[in-house]
Amino acid sequence: MSATQLEPRKRLTRKESRAQTRTKLIAVGRAHFLRNGLGGAVAEKIAEDAGYSRGALYSNFDSKEELFLAVIDEQKMHHHEAFEAILRDTMLTPSTRLRRFRDAFTEVITDRDWIILYSEFEAEALRNRRIRASFLKLHRRAISDGVRLVGELAQSPGITLRLKPRDFILAMLNFSLGLAVNQKILGNEFSSQCARKLIQSLFDELIMEP
């Protein structure tokens, strides 16, 4: 056997194969939901573009709606990990940590793809009882996680919140999400740069830094 001959590829376990399939379906589903919305996306087409059968999709997700919720949940997890990384970086000064936290928050709120997905999530929650229950669950978790993260941020020397952590999160979320949706609808009439400045201004107004 040649020394340069490649070793046989390791065969995936059933669990690994299932995880790989879910990951691919979520990625392709995300693209379809961004382009067509939840109502316009077709489960069979998602499965086809991901390279799987319709049965493979439904063996991993009970419905197209469940796949959509998985897309939302994965995106929220990435956001949470980004904030956690900032708080866990012991090399940052309190002032730098605050600015990075603010910038990360601004990036999330002005991310055009996230605006589309979250707006679709809200709209479906008004029409679909099951989606509404999932929306409320995720919304409450987002507030709970946000309160904890902001509470930890406020423990940095010299940083003072003008509001309680829960009130701060509610103010920022409601203001920012409304702003983000208007940014998407108005397009060039309301630039992302303008939205970023407004979000950062409110953030700075509600937090006193060193």
Q: What is the pLDDT of residues 129-165, one digit of tens each?
A: 989 999 999 889 989 999 999 999 998 888 889 999 9
The full set of domains in the chain, from first to last, is 13-61 (1.10.10), 64-208 (1.10.357.10)
The answer to whether 190 and 183 have CB atoms below 8 angstroms apart is yes
Summarize pLDDT for 171-203 with one digit per residue, the tens: 888 887 787 778 778 877 777 788 888 888 988
Confidence of residue 8 (pLDDT cuts 50, 70, 90): low
Contact 60, 171 (CB under 8 A): no
Q: How far is CA 118 from CA 4, 107, 208, in A?
A: 50, 14, 30
Q: Please say if the pLDDT value at position 3 is more than 80.
A: no
* pTM as predicted: 0.84
Instruction: Compute the average pLDDT of residues 49-56.
Output: 93
Mean pLDDT of all residues belonging to the chain: 88
